[in-house]
Structure 1
Amino acid sequence: MNVALIFAGGIGARMRAGAVPKQFLEIYGRPVIVHTLEQFQQHPEIDAILVVILEEYRQEFLRLLDRYELSKVKWVVSGGSTGQESRHNGLKALREACPKDSVVLIHDGVRPLVDEELITANIRSVEAHGTGVTCTKTNETIVVANEPQVTDVIPRDRLWTAQAPQSFVLGEVADIYDRAVSEGITDSIDTCSLYRRYGIPVRMVPGPHTNIKITTSSDYYIARTFFTLVEDAKAFGARAEME
């Protein structure tokens, strides 16, 4: 069984978008979270979807599920006080409902440009290696700074940024989160970092630079531009060059 855990529990503080969380901002007439969910809804190998959402937006989100016929969303779980707690809430619910050997793809609700190829690559990585973390090659120079001085320049030939989906075997990843909480770890940045904290090998899945997370206002406008390229490619039969 292949299930997606979509984390949409953030409040979007860095967006400065008033009272609207970033996952509910619209691009091409659809909320960002709907764009994201549609990629998993339409993927032939995704069997079910769980969404972690802010409790105060549950009813609005349920209306979106009906409106856009997102029938693969089987569970809606309330988020916690941290990203780790929210992901853990979702994993505990999945562990109760799905076989422990299921493949679970943990994905940000505000990464709407994930595509079928990347989802498939994550599933195949877990099937072959037990893990799969989407990574994108760094194309900028990375420096270490003791402000205002640059103290070191890090060679970028081996540097990648970890993104999402981050994909694992359900039973193992749920146990990892249980262990972290039992040891007082409550605010890890992502699942990949927890695996490496415990020395568990993580397999990289190369992904495109278009797979951006909408965190700031500039991210939103960049994502909207990429969506324009996708729509143009559909309309005119051309392949958009977005790498």
Structure 2
Amino acid sequence: MEETISLKEIMEVLRKNIWIIIASMLFFATATFGYLQVFVAPEYEAVSQVLITQNAQNQDSAVQNSEIQANIQMVNTYSVVIKSPRILKTAAEEIDPNMSVEALASKVSVDSVQNSQVINIHVVDENPEKAIEEAKIVTKSFLKETPKMMKVSNVELLANPFTAQKTSPNIKIGLLAGTFAGLVVGVVIAFARRIFDERFKKEEEIVSRLQIPVIGTVGNITETETRSSSEDLIRRRKKK
């Protein structure tokens, strides 16, 4: 027979199992923290910046604006060029003769500030010093090879990286995810205990599940009542 549960019963289940839920949240948060600290290698990101410039100065503002818009459109092209095998092969050989283009490509990502002529080149590595050095080499390779490929000289270095920021693992996000997972598991355990609890909690459950009438009920006997009954029994025995 299908069983329904009211909102009041849901709150009661959660209240009775609150310590199980809290313990589950703490366990998963601790386990996630330990996993991130022990098994996940830290990664650092260095960022260099390249500027797309005008080819020539022109006093005509309309021409200048048109050229700026063209350069902004070229940012998308340059973003693809930076990760091209031709650029990365030269950089990989300088970084490490044994490094493949694919290995370096997995470390490099490119983005740009919206409606700007600035390209950001991101390089990620487990060593912050290596991340900085690799970002400089990739940028240098791009600045060297692009004029040959594109037949233009409108790119120049805007900023080289001097520091690398730790990007992984993100402890705060990890702890938040672990705590949420523990909450979900704790709630599931709480309702599993409720669903698989075969004890009768209401008279209606006896009638519906056993198909027999309820003749009478015995109320809860408190400790005081039990003690009073025992004392009365002792007095009666003494009188006899």
TM-score scaled by length of structure 2: 0.24
TM superposition score normalised by structure 1: 0.24
- Which has the larger Rg? 2
